[in-house]
Structure 1
Amino acid sequence: MITHSLKNPDQNTLNALAFLDYHEDSLGFGLGCFLLRNNLSFEKDDTVRVLAGYDGSFLGEICLQYFLFGNGRRNFLSVITMLVGTLSAISHCGAFYTAFKKGRNAHRFHDLDFSKMLSQPLENIWSAFNIL
């Protein structure tokens, strides 16, 4: 069952290899692959990156913040990232707007406890939250 709760700070101790123990079509496995591919350690936004389909690049980060803003997350850091990112990459405004619309059209999920969804197939999560 998917529940609303605060993120568990102990999730930050998980490394990419631990996520690869999940089934290949699961959110957990997708997260592990993302972390390995980008040589990252786990951060709470990485799960949203996997679900929304944005990489860890500069443009991917800006798109992620637009997606999250569209999905209802409002905070100072996101707004600053969007502002600076838009001014730095003005030629990509179409992609930013698309990310915003994608987040707005998805059911609100940015504030969920994703640890309860790690074993779920990505396709099911995408469908349930209207992310694709």
Structure 2
Amino acid sequence: MRLKFMLFLYNGSSKLYAQVFKRNKKAWGLSVNDFLRYSENSLGYALGEFYRSKGFDIMPKLENHDVFHVITQTNTEIEDEVAMQYLLMGNGKRSLYMYAMITIGTFIYPEFIRYYMFSYQKGKSLSTFHHIEFKDYLARPLIEIQHVLYRKTTFQTI
């Protein structure tokens, strides 16, 4: 019952979030096959594999969120989606949507609070990335991006 409720909220709110809060953002306009055409060690290819292996559709204007899963190696179960919001909060992101997901997710899944706190600390320990448009980095090696992320240096160095 909790899972159905959270999936209902997440699926419904994601589309609304894209329409309201990302109305001025341009969708990447790439398909899964487009991503899979990047070299095998690249972020673009890893993102294509993420979509293919999970059976996910690309949600226009929300591609960066999926990149966050890839570069931080965060899973996509509902508790992982809440943990991702904690990670982003730790990384400095501030948004009404993020706070709502954290509040509702923590209330519905309190047994994951340690995981959420770990994710928050992980976000704090990483280079600030929540504001970066990763479309510009699709051809870059994933390992290089992760190295910058975990070394807590700036993305202008790659």
TM-score between the two structures when normalised by the length of structure 2: 0.73
Q: 1:131 to 1:57 in 2, by over 3 A?
A: farther
Q: Indicate whether 1:115 and 2:114 are aligned.
A: no
Quote how far apart the aligned CAs of 1:34 are.
Answer: 0.8
Counterpart of 1:4 in structure 2 is: none
Counterpart of 2:49 in structure 1 is: 33
Q: 1:78 to 1:63 in 2, by over 3 A?
A: same
Q: Which residue identity lines up with residue 57 of structure 2 in the other structure?
A: S
- Within 5 Å, which residues of 2 pair with 1:1-132? 9-11=26-28, 13-42=29-58, 43-44=62-63, 45-130=65-150
Distance 2:142 2:68 in 1: 12
Quote how far apart the aligned CAs of 1:55 are.
Answer: 2.4
Count the aligned residue pairs.
125
Q: Which residue identity lines up with residue 69 of structure 2 in the other structure?
A: R
Structure 1 stretches of at least 4 aligned residues deviating more than 4 Å after TM superposition: none
Quote how far apart the aligned CAs of 1:56 are.
Answer: 2.4
Distance 1:108 1:126 in 2: 12
User: Alignment RMSD, CA only?
Assistant: 1.8
TM-score between the two structures when normalised by the length of structure 1: 0.87
